[in-house]
């Protein structure tokens, strides 16, 4: 049976995982920062204007979200 310390540790680990998932990765200040992290192709300028923190091109982001939904069930 789990005691209070075990439950607190489990809750802290869950919060760390959520925080890591929702924190965007830091982007280097180089031209490479405009490349998709998945395919390496340049992220479209219109996408970067709409979402400056984008790290994936539209195609890779769509695939990423599709996979996220598939494994969230």
| Residue 48: burial class (beta carbons within 10 Å; 0-12, 13-18, 19+) | middle
The residue ranking higher by pLDDT, 8 or 36, is 36
pLDDT digits (tens, 9 = 90+) for 47-71: 999 998 899 999 999 999 999 988 8
pTM above 0.85, yes or no: no
Say which residue, 60 or 3, is predicted with more confidence. 60
CB 55 within 8 A of CB 24: yes
Percent of the chain with pLDDT over 70: 81
């Amino acid at each position: 049976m789990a005691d209070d310390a075990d439950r607190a540790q489990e809750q802290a680990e869950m919060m760390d995982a959520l925080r890591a998932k929702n924190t965007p990765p830091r982007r280097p200040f180089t031209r490479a920062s405009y490349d998709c992290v998945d395919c390496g192709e340049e992220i479209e300028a219109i996408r970067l204007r709409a979402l400056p923190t984008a790290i994936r091109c539209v195609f890779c982001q769509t695939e990423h979200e599709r996979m996220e939904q598939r494994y969230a069930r």
